[in-house]
Structure 1
Amino acid sequence: MSIFISSTSLSLSPTKPPPISAVKASFPIMGFPPTTHLLAGALSLGLVLSPPCISLESSAMSSPAAQLVESSAEACGDKESVKRDVVNAPELVSNDDVVEQAWEIVNESFLDPSGNRWSPRSWLFSKMARYDMTGIGINLREVPDDNGGVKLKVLGLILDGPAHNAGVQQGDELLSVNGVDVRGKSAFEASSLIQGPSETVVNIMVKHGNCGPVKSLEVERQLVARTPVFYRLEQVEGAATSVGYVRLKEFNALARKDIVTAIQRLQDMGASYLILDLRDNRGGLVQAGIEIAKLFMNQGETVIYTAGRETQYQNNIIADSEPLFTSPVIVLVNKNTASASEIVASALHDNCRAVLVGEKTFGKGLIQSVFELQDGSGVVVTIGKYITPNHLDINGNGIEPDFKKFPGWNEVAQRLTQCQKLQGG
């Protein structure tokens, strides 16, 4: 089992994007390159980490850290003057016990997105999605030790990540986290101990190689992500108005903050309308999508509904503040617009804040939760789904656009006015 605690380096350099006229000209065949980077100003979020690396001296042999040093020395044949406290081995859990616990969780919590009654015989496992995680940039894996148990090895490092800068090396064995001995624990358990709020410090003890030195390292947790936002201001040909173009590649931890910066700068530069490009955006952090949708909505309007077997998953999520941008919006979508992107697109569309242009979206609207099992592993269970403000089940259906081809701004204004009249606004 592998647990990856992600942390990537951040850099952003301006690139010259094509003009809006090029976007419009190519749109009838949906040919605008999805990977084009558009930027009207750099969003610079630099990170420099250089935590201290502290070597343990042999003089402090009464602490838990010293006990780990002693056990490491004993394992490598250095038994002179080494006295190690006895550590009870963790209670063994059989595979049958774990499977039984997993089935209990599924039977109690699983929501079949197709609407059919849940049947264990029809259950199929799907791939676990990737999630943003605040960590230190290491890949932990369980490997067998000489005593028939397991130990945790660092088999992957993010170059220039927090752990790498602190002195962690490829192949190091993780011995403890904040003084907690992790020998015999799973990678899932150890990663849970390592994770914490960004810019807080975690102490880890590692051993270099099989018989190398043991070091205590103070590592600052960081959520280091690339900005997913690219934007540009363009003049509308033959008109005095300007259009702001914003491309959002994914919903990571920086998405809301950076899109606020982009919109504010575009407004300062005179943008009267906005194009929000969500093509090929497969989602990410759902909460980031919800918060971004709120930036365009009036207080009290519904962003999304959630439906599930348990009442705690049956919610009406509403906007709780006034909108940041109130002018007409075009949202570009395609068949790869999914998950959090569909939440944003449907929220703006159903509340008459935007028109959708392009292709039918992917149709992914499930709510999943991770349940920890007694052996330290985990199981991901679908516990609910997302319903649009107009009561459309996103999952498996997708969202139809208003226009296949890029419309004129007069058509956009007319469509939004009609929408508001139908809703009594």
Structure 2
Amino acid sequence: MSAWLTLPPPSQTLRPQLFCNSRVNSTTWVEKTLAGALSGALSFGLLISLPSAIALESPSIQSPLSPSQVCRDVEREKRVDTGQEMATNEGIVEEAWQIVNDSFLDTGRRRWSRESWQQKKDDILSNSIQTRSKAHQIIRRMLASLGDPYTRFLPPEEFSKMARYDMTGIGINLREIPDENGNIKIKVLGIILDSPAHSAGVRQGDELLAVNGDGVQGKSAFEVSSLLQGPNETFVTIQVKHGNCGPVESIEVQRQLIARTPVFYRFEQTDNGATSVGYIRLKEFNALARKDLFTAVKRLQDMGASYFILDLRDNLGGLVQAGIEVAKLFLNEGDTVIYTVGRDPQFQDAVFADTSPLVQAPVIVLVNNKTASASEIVASALHDNCRAVLVGERTFGKGLIQSVFELDDGSGVVVTVGKYVTPNHKDINGNGIEPDFRKVPAWSEVSQYLTKCTIPQQG
């Protein structure tokens, strides 16, 4: 499975692609997305943005299914159900090789080409691989040869920790897939083995029809993911159609949330009680970031907050889509959130806010040199659209997007698949974002600064 993240070096429009795996009779290898369900202007696998390892999420991506996916074939169904039992050492290595071959974006080092990558595969697989440990060592060396600090191998125990980015709470990744008539279907393209959904009978390729009796037609994958969320260990009933030609079934699934709230907030009064401020600290962009921040803003507004401080200091990132959805809460409809670009020029796109802002009041965004990836998406989106001023230190400078893919033995690979630029068309990768103020200014200065600000032209 794959997920998009935005992370700093180790210590999504991008369209996730369907990859071919020669070990399964060259049928389409569906991305096994770990946790990120992207929608709206973006659609990601698991996109994570962390300065120390990964980067996830980009604009709405829709990947039509190949003819071979019209009905699930027996071989692929066996593969999904048995998982690790079918994994071979050579197969794991080839699987990692194929992911890089289909999705890796060389961001300027020019160490990758299809010809040299094919030769590497031929060299590696010319001999048998005796142990799983050896297979993992080969994958590590293979990825290291790319010279990309963000592309790396995840052993099973580390990959399992990515479950905190599950945006549904039941272990599936949803994508918006157009049918032959152009209608959008919500499909399960990514499922965590032994997750609540998998154990309850949901399978790769299933179409999601309803959540708790409410149809999902017309809703985005992100909206449907939000409907699936709920308190830990509570139940949600989903109606799915198995494959494109199977039966319709109602399945009750118990939620199993791994993520903890990344939001802390408080109400403050300054200037001898004359100014009411809502302070919100956001520690990472996990599956609960948008939902919990929305709740915090509403409660602070009810308390009377007329100004807001969004603290993104030391926030290394997380899910790209979560960052985008958080930024949209503060932007006017039609404002540009980010521009994204991948290896294939046709996957270049812009992400726009599609609703009215939750907050109209002036905002201060606190940043420092550990504000990275998804945090920089939010900071630049609010800044460039004249919704906030930035206060503190120059940000980390992580403008690359990674996708996380699960391999057949429960390990995973993190691969750089794209990059993004700000609404003002600035490439922050390696550069960071310079704040407007070093110290917190008076609110009158903030209002004056935003009044003089010019919103960038789209395009």
Q: TM-score range by the shorter chain?
A: 0.5 to 0.7
2:107 is aligned with what amino acid? P
Q: Is the 8 A contact 1:302 1:319 kept in 2?
A: yes
1:163 is matched with none
Cα distance change, pair 412–219 in 1 and its aligned pair in 2 (3 A): closer
Once residues 90 and 353 of structure 1 are traced to their aligned partners in structure 2, the CA distance between those partners, rounded to angstroms, is 48
- In the other structure, the counterpart of 2:152 is 126
Contact 2:153 2:413 in 1 (8 A): no
Give the Å deviation of 1:224: 4.8
Would you say 1:254 and 2:288 are equivalent positions?
yes
Q: Does 1:193 align with 2:193?
A: no
Aligned residue for 1:41?
A: none
- Which aligned pairs between 1:291-370 and structure 2 lie closer than 5 A? 291-311=325-345, 313-370=347-404
Structure with larger RCO (C-alpha < 8 A, sep 6+): 2
Give the match for residue 148 of structure 1.
none
- 1:170-181 aligned within 5 A: none
Which residue in 2 is equivalent to 1:396? Answer: 430
Superposition TM-score, scaled by structure 2 size: 0.52
Distance 1:97 1:238, change over 3 A: closer
Moved more, 371-380 or 305-314: 371-380
1:372 Cα deviation after fit: 5.0
Structure 1's 340 and 89: CA in aligned 2 closer, same or farther, altered over 3 A? closer
Shift of 1:234: 1.9
On the 8 A contact 2:84/2:408 being kept in 1, the answer is: no
Check whether the contact 1:109–1:310 (CA below 8 A) recurs between aligned residues: no
Amino acid at match of 1:329: V
**Cα-to-partner distance string for 1:201-237 (whole Å, 9 max, x where unaligned):** 89xxxxxxxxxxxxxxx98232253322222222221
When structure 1 is superposed on structure 2, of 273-282 and 414-423 the one drifting more is 414-423
Which of 100, 111, 122 is equivalent to 1:106?
100
SS at match of 2:337: strand
**Other-structure match for 1:274:** 308
SS at match of 1:296: coil
Identity %: 65
2:453 aligns to what SS in structure 1? helix
Q: Deviations over 1:58-79 (max 9, x none)?
A: xxxxxxxxxxxxxxxxxxxxxx
Letter in 1 for 2:440: F
| Pair 1:322–1:100, CA change in 2 (3 A) | same
Q: Which residue of structure 2 lines up, in the alignment, with residue 168 of structure 1?
A: none
The alpha-carbon deviation at position 251 of structure 1 amounts to 1.8
In 1: Cα distance, 2:147 partner to 2:257 partner = 35
1:96 deviation in Å?
3.7
After superposition, residues 13-412 of structure 1 pair within 5 angstroms as 94-114=88-108, 116=110, 118-119=112-113, 121-123=145-147, 125-126=151-152, 128=154, 130=162, 131-133=164-166, 189-190=193-194, 193-194=198-199, 199-200=235-236, 220-238=254-272, 240-311=274-345, 313-371=347-405, 373=407, 378-412=412-446
Q: Which residue of 1 aligns with 2:44?
A: none
Q: In structure 1, how many angstroms separate the alpha carbons of the residues matched to 2:439 and 2:392?
A: 6
How much does 1:413 deviate? Answer: 1.6
Report if aligned partners of 2:111, 2:147 keep a CA contact under 8 Å in 1. Answer: no
TM-score, scaled relative to structure 1: 0.56
Distance verdict in 2 for CA 1:285–1:104, change over 3 Å: closer
Structure 2 residue ranges without an equivalent (≥5): 1-33, 36-81, 118-144, 172-190, 203-227, 230-234, 239-251
Determine if contact 1:301/1:351 at 8 Å carries over to the other structure: yes
Aligned match of 1:44: none
Q: Deviation at 1:253?
A: 2.3
The answer on whether the counterparts of 1:188 and 1:376 sit within 8 Å (CA) in structure 2 is no
Contact 1:201 1:221 in 2 (8 A): no
Out of 381-390 and 126-135, give the one that drifted further: 126-135
Quote how far apart the aligned CAs of 1:363 are.
2.0
Counterparts in 2 of 1:239 and 1:420: CA distance versus 1, 3 Å: farther
Deviation at 1:390? Answer: 1.1
Alignment RMSD: 3.6
Relative to structure 1, the CA distance from residue 188 to residue 239 in structure 2 (aligned partners, 3 Å threshold; closer, same or farther) is closer
CA distance in 2, matches of 1:281, 1:244: 19
Task: Point out the more displaced range, 327-336 or 370-379.
Answer: 370-379
- Mapped partners of 2:349, 2:456: distance in 1: 25
Q: CA deviation at 1:288?
A: 1.5
Q: Is the 8 A contact 1:188 1:377 kept in 2?
A: no
C-alpha separation between the residues in 2 aligned to 1:317 and 1:385? 13
Compared CA separation, residues 245 and 92, structure 1 to 2 (3 A): closer
* Structure 1 pair 201–322 and aligned structure 2 pair: CA distance change class (3 A): closer
